[in-house]
Structures are given as C-alpha cells and as structure tokens.
Amino acid sequence: MRNRRIGEAVGLAVAFTVISLAAANSSRAADCPVSQEQLASALKASVKASGGPSNGGFDTHQWASVVTRDGTVCAVAFSGNKPDDQWPGSRVVAMAKANTANAFSTKQMALSTANLFAPAQPGQSLYGIVQAGPPSPEANLGDSAQFGTSSDPALGKRIGGTVVFGGGLALYNESGVIGGIGVSGDTSCADHNVVWRVRTALGLDKTPQKDAIVYDLGPDGKSASGFGHVKCPGHEADIAHELGAGIGGYSLSGLTPSK
C-alpha cells in the first residue's frame, strides 16, 4: 500500500510538471513576435540558396532565430531542407545575435549587432563585452533532429550570448521593442542584409532610428561614427545600399556613395 501511494504521488508530480511546462511553453509562444512558420517563410524568401535574392556574400543557406523581450528563444528556423544544409555552428550564433540586438536596444534607440563592431575593438568603449555575456551550453543540448523546427530544444531557454558583428536586429512594432532576430550562415555583412530583409518582411521594422550597418572604417581601422563595421570581401555593401540597410561604402563603380 505504501509503495502504491508513493507511486501515485510520483505520478501526480510528473503530471503536474508536464502540465506546468506545457502551460509555460504556451505562454512563451503567445509572447513570441512571430511564429516558427512565419520566420521560416520570411527567411527562405530572403536567401538565394532557397529561391530568394542575392545578399552579396556566399549566398549560402542560413539560420534564423527570434527571442522575446526577456531574451527567451521562441522561434528557430533554417532555409535549407535539413539542419546541415547550413553551417551547424550558425544556429547558436543566430540566437546570440538575436539576444544581443534585443538586449542593447530600447524604445528610444535601436542598435544592430553590426553597430557594436567598432566600439567592441581593443581600446574602445565596449572592449570585452563579448566575454561579459557568453552563450549558455544549453543551446546545443537535446535532439539535434529537432534543430530549426517548432520543437527545437533551445525554445523556452535564455541562451544569451553577445555578438559584435552583422546579422542581428531588434524587432519593433508601434509600441517599441518586442524582441530580437538573428541570422547567421554567410559573411557577417551578408547576414545583416538577410536579417534586414527578413525583419522587413515580418513588418517588425518600426525602429526609432535607422540601425543600418555603417561602413566608415578608415585605413587606420577607426570608425568615424564610432559605430562602424568592417567591409566584407563580396558585394554586401552594394546590396545594403540597395536595401537602405547600409550607411557609407561605395558601389562597384567606386563612384556612388551609399546613402
């Protein structure tokens, strides 16, 4: 009898835990700025490898991740047919980019991860910021077959991480910041172009000011604005110019500066 009662108590505890987790997951899903299906659709339409336009870099498949305002991962997607169609390491990088852009943006000021490149360099005001917020190892736990799906094991977790190169943007509606989005899988400059397209497609680009990538590093490596980003070897700056996602830099003709 005693063993039976213990078994019943354990069973009830397990059931309560399952119900609580389900309720928590439902609440997180309700807080997420986008659904997994919306994220996957917008990403595939923004990547050349899955039928979208060129982004000026390698034009490879990409990962995308979205976090809620408190930094909880709530959507993860990829543009290929299976998880290893894109760089496996970029899944966690996309989460960290989403976390970074969300964490360092406010209702009054939007900062892309690209805007943090220059201030995070040695001798600058944010040097060491990457070490201050490393990503959680939980990001790579769980069933890898579920990576990038609506059952991704990172969902519902605050993975954290701080990234100081292109590919992460805060998400804004008319009320202010509601989360962040990160894209990874190409050059950092191309990632910025992709995430810019994805955010626009999702309609969550109501930023208080332009959080574009700034190409203004001089020969000495210093940024004139203080928020500059290094240029990548492809045509990413030209694509950014076309999208209105970049400031500074020149077109392939070398004659027309970006606006």
- 104-154 pLDDT, tens digit each: 999 999 999 999 999 999 999 999 999 988 888 888 899 999 999 999 999
Give residue 134's pLDDT. Answer: 86
Length of the chain: 259
So what's the pLDDT on residue 4?
57
Q: How many domains does the chain have?
A: 2
240 assigned to some structural domain: yes
Q: Who has greater pLDDT, 237 or 9?
A: 237
pLDDT value at residue 13: 44
Q: Are residues 67 and 182 in the same domain?
A: yes
Decide if pLDDT at 72 tops 80. yes
Residues 171-199 have pLDDT tens digits of 999 999 999 999 999 999 999 999 999 99
The two structure tokens encoding residue 138: 């939980």
**Residues 69 and 122 both lie in one domain:** yes
23 and 130 part of one domain: no
Q: Compute the mean pLDDT over every residue in the chain, rounded to the nearest whole number.
A: 88
| pLDDT at 29 (0 to 100) | 61
Instruction: Examine residue 259 and state whether it is found in any structural domain, yes or no.
Output: no
Residue range(s) defining the domain that contains residue 73: 33-248
Q: Structure tokens of 208?
A: 């208080």
Q: What is the pLDDT of residue 236?
A: 98
Starting from the edge strand earliest in sequence, which strands make up the sheet with 73-78, in order? 73-78, 63-68, 176-184, 168-173
CA distance linking residue 224 with residue 111, whole number of Å: 17
Average pLDDT for 198-223: 96
Q: Are residues 22 and 87 in the same domain?
A: no
3-state secondary structure 201-248: HHCCECCCCCCCEEECECCCCCECCCCCCCCCCCCHHHHHHHHCCEEE
Give me the pLDDT at residue 5, please: 57
Is the pLDDT confidence value at 14 over 80? no
pLDDT, residue 20, reads 37
User: In the chain, pLDDT over 70 holds for what percent of residues?
Assistant: 84
Q: How confident is the model at residue 41 (pLDDT cuts 50, 70, 90)?
A: very high
Q: What is the dihedral of CA 234, 238, 239, 243, to 10 degrees?
A: 160
Taking the model in full, what pTM does it have?
A: 0.86
Is the predicted pLDDT of residue 71 greater than 60, yes or no?
Answer: yes
- CATH value at residue 244: 3.30.450.150
- The answer to whether the CB of 189 falls within 8 A of the CB of 236 is yes
* 142 shares a domain with 20: no
pLDDT at 251 over 70: no
Residue 139's pLDDT is what? Answer: 87
Task: Say if 256 falls within a structural domain.
Answer: no
